[in-house]
Structure 1
């Protein structure tokens, strides 16, 4: 029987990870990304992946074996931080066909997302809620049942869609309903009369905002990415961010060159779905602490990079004006109330202090403020990031 460990590196109370010998696979050696003077890309056999044109690439059993001019990235972060949106932005830049296919397929996910929002919100409506008509009240009652709500959404017509829009108005006006935990809730519900139509075609913005929970680890290989005077092969891995899934992150850390830790600034006044007593941003900080604890145990940690992406800056700016950060993080004492810049810098300092408490040199941690749905995200963040990283690699 496997011994149990109490370290989050392999899961609290979870079995020790199976050794390479036990699986019959050879133990992989660790290497930092290094450019090769002649190579422009990596032979396919060096990194066996599923077809890059598939929208969902299961990373189970896939290798991160490095080769010349390759950089391996891993996206980390808690659920709802925006990791998957950043994954889509990489697709948009380097695999346009994958992005286009994903956008077309998102119609079903957006429709299901709107349905689940209505089920969640109508269950919170009090008995004395005032409705525009008995028909709208009956619709609200039916939507509370998952099976009935699915039947309604499977048989949508213009009349039902108009009634849903009226019901959404009722929900917004009810102070008892905790609406819009995520900004994507409001975005799609506000435009439900468009996105529930038969001829609806999602825009790039719709697809980027469409929040679909990562069902499994996904890995994508981007070949021949021009950075500087050479082309590079990039590998990007996205992992599930739910609390119960985080124990699975640490098995591939040794093979990753750069960790992109994504945290949502807009989570500062939200609570976890798994534990409503826990602040989401605080949970992200604690998860980051666990990641730092595990990274420092790696023999080649000094050759790796950590980039913290403080995401959803746009939503953060809007929320701070109405709900100050200090209300949720009392130790934050700003010079100016509701000041966006001071609030942002406080959150940044919390991540850097977390790394420092784990004995990590904060010079190794690069922190950037981002909005993953920004149309210019590729140029402002991804291009700048790659240019920086390649310069560091070349310098050695």
Structure 2
């Protein structure tokens, strides 16, 4: 590939920023890049002339802001699409986004938890063929595919030829034949965390995010800047196997007192029934607690306190500014949040450390597939746009 000229480098940086961080004004881009207004204006004019950028609404100013609102710039939606797939334990989700990150289509299929990853991929392929036959998805427009896989699967790595290897025991050959685009994969929780980047402001707002999924299993994604932190072996985020009680219940992993052995979704329901509460699912427990049932409230508080112990341990190590609590257990609501927050704050205050912000977010069944699509967009969006939309194309 020929070297970029200074002007070409500026154009590419603009596109990469907008792909990673969302729409921005000309002034924000100028300040972000540290370039003059004429340089920015010229680059934007050339990009719009090539059909790579478009104006999409006006910037929303806060109270007390005077002056004429500025137009927001974003990648042109018709320039391409990104595909995200989640091969979850009990679901297969597909999300298609346009090149500016807007959701174009989504499809969800419930599957048996015992289904192999390869068969779950087959379910995803069926969904993709349905979208293609309906004219919703054009395979040639896809710049890349992200795949979130439940369980311990290391992120995709380059092989000797510059391509990526498939996860152990899984083949993406049929996917590549159907959608001729590069593929990345990662743990589904890590990719779900990426989905929240678009809701955060650039700079300080993106530093130090801990995203926690509270379900039958408990996992976490750690975000710092514009990417997830994976650790030395690529397995960071195993919050569910943090020990919160050495003498606690046995976990399926063989250890005792793991967080998910103490407050996993099924465990909490069992604890509720042992306390004499007639509940079929976590929503029933939430209803009882909200209606003032003393036993239900006590259990929710205890679950929140145990969660807070684990979160305080994690926060001591990674110092997050924000902790997002997602998953089905998040439906236990403010009482769960308050108990967890009290535990975290007390332990942080004791050593005079700033308190992180805790937020409940019940989430969507498409969080991981959406995050997978955004990951593909961030990795390959600029290359795809400059290749397919160049003047010589």
TM-score by length of 2: 0.24
TM-score by length of 1: 0.24
Determine which structure has greater relative contact order: mean sequence separation of CA pairs < 8 Å that are 6+ residues apart, divided by chain length.
1
Structure with bigger strand share is 2
